[in-house]
Amino acid sequence: MANILKAHAGARANRSTGGDIVLVICLLFLAIIFAFPLYFTIINSLKPADEFFLFPPKFYVIKPTGQNYQNLFRLMSTSWVPFSRYIFNTVFITVVGTVGHCIITSLAAFPCSKFVFPGSVGFGKLVRTSLMFSSSVTALATYIIMNAFGWIDTYWAMIIPAISTSLGFFLMQSFMGVVPDALLESATLDGAGLGRQFWTIVMPLVKSGWLTLAIFKIQELWNMQQSSYIYSETLKTMPYAISQVTSGGIARQGAAAAGSVILLIVPVVFFIIIQSNVLETMATSGMKD
């Protein structure tokens, strides 16, 4: 694939190797600024207590230690609800919420972006507009609705709002809009129904779209602190539990640093896996038309 890219790059306007190198160096410099606080968070989690408050502050660890992580896990194991329960809750909500959101919004975005029928354009506009209403003020009405369904203090109260956000619909619509109509028309002529067109043509072509959406959702749900519709301790999430454990002032600062790394590392790992998949879809995009 790299060769194809290079061949194409060679055929493009006004490119030079020197320019590319300068570009990479500039980007690298900026990337270091962007990555620094991240680096610092990880470094901090490896610092023993006596290095935490050194003056002047150090950008590296003198004696790296796993003590903070051990402390965090020891503190977590003393919780009243077993910590594995919090982890299960977060993993469960993240998986169901992400998969559900991707499928439901893709299903809805497909006809709305590819066919014209009464209401298709209006609905798209309505969804896009709704994105601009700040979600914090709708909590009151949502609570009343949740209550009417009897969903307060159940998993539904966390999963359904996560699934029904407007973001995915808007994103999938913008990606599906560029799928060539000719492809779908020839599929119709070959006798493929709407379902077949959706799963075998549209979804593979907009893979980069729903993988990107999955990144957003995983990151959002993995870090979900606390839902205002949940009271039971057994239904609360891992970020909430970690924040409870680590809110102990200076004495818990090491554990807090370790906790923030744990919350960060899972979305980043997923990001790396997914991003390499997004790159793969590029190779197939040449098949369009």
Residues 7-66 that bind other proteins (CB under 8 A): 8-9, 11-15, 20, 23-24, 27, 30-31, 33-35, 37-38, 40-41, 44, 55-57
Residue with tokens 């919004």: 105
Work out which of 72, 102, 163, 230 binds other proteins, going by CB under 8 A.
163
Work out which of 72, 160, 241, 255 binds other proteins, going by CB under 8 A.
160
In whole angstroms, give the CA distance from residue 39 to residue 37.
5
Task: Tell which residue, 280, 200, 286, 234, has the closest CA to residue 87.
Answer: 234
| Closer CB to other proteins, 18 or 118, in the complex | 118
Judged by CB under 8 A, the stretch of 69-77, 90-98, 182-190, 268-276 that binds other proteins is 268-276
Phi-psi region of 266 (alpha: psi -120 to 50; beta: other; left: phi over 0): alpha
Distances in Å between the Cα of 129 and the Cα atoms of 155, 170, 220 are 28, 10, 21
Q: How far is the CB of 226 from other proteins (least distance, A)?
A: 13
Say how many C-beta atoms besides its own lie within 10 A of residue 173's C-beta.
22
Instruction: Tell me, residue by residue from 206 to 245, as one string, x for binding to other proteins by CB under 8 A and - for no binding.
Output: --xx-xx--xx--x---x----------------------
Distances in Å between the Cα of 263 and the Cα atoms of 14, 79, 118, 144, 222 are 44, 18, 45, 31, 7
Sorted by sequence, the CB contacts under 8 Å of residue 11 that are 6+ apart come out as none
| Closer CB to other proteins, 80 or 117, in the complex | 117
| Closer CB to other proteins, 234 or 288, in the complex | 288
Spatial contact of 151 and 157, defined as CB atoms under 8 Å apart: yes
| Closer CB to other proteins, 81 or 266, in the complex | 266
Number of H helices, E strands in the chain: 15, 0
Give residues 188-207 in contact with other proteins (rule: CB under 8 A). 194, 198
Phi-psi region of 287 (alpha: psi -120 to 50; beta: other; left: phi over 0): alpha
Spatial contact of 157 and 146, defined as CB atoms under 8 Å apart: yes
Give residues 70-99 in contact with other proteins (rule: CB under 8 A). none
| Closer CB to other proteins, 1 or 78, in the complex | 1
Give residues 128-147 in contact with other proteins (rule: CB under 8 A). 128-134, 136-142, 145
Work out which of 61, 96, 107, 192 binds other proteins, going by CB under 8 A.
107
Q: How far is the CB of 82 from other proteins (least distance, A)?
A: 25
| Closer CB to other proteins, 200 or 285, in the complex | 285
Q: Is 126 in the site for other proteins (CB under 8 A)?
A: yes
